[in-house]
Amino acid sequence: MKVKVNKDLCIGCGACQALVEDVFEIQDDGLAGVKVDKVPEDLEEDVKDAIDGCPTQAISDED
């Protein structure tokens, strides 16, 4: 699984980072970013929860 954060939609609320800090981080621009090229298999369900929970739908599954 690969994920992407759309910087035009992200508001930097940090919900994704709070759910899966091994995958998402708030970057220097104050917006979320993805820390990994590929989501580890054991974190895929948590990442799906982050996608569903993003208030602006800024996170997408690129697979």
Give pTM, 2 decimals.
Answer: 0.94
What kind of architecture, by CATH, is found in domain 3-61? 2-Layer Sandwich (3.30)
Task: Write down the pLDDT at residue 56.
Answer: 98
Q: Could you state, in order of their start, the residue ranges of all structural domains in the chain?
A: 3-61
- Position 61 confidence tier, pLDDT thresholds 50, 70, 90: very high
- Position 55 confidence tier, pLDDT thresholds 50, 70, 90: very high
Mean pLDDT of 30-42: 98
Instruction: Give the 3-state secondary structure of 9-59.
Output: CCCCCCHHHHHCCCCEEECCCCCEEECCCCCCHHHHHHHHHHHHHCCCCCE
Mean pLDDT of 30-46: 98
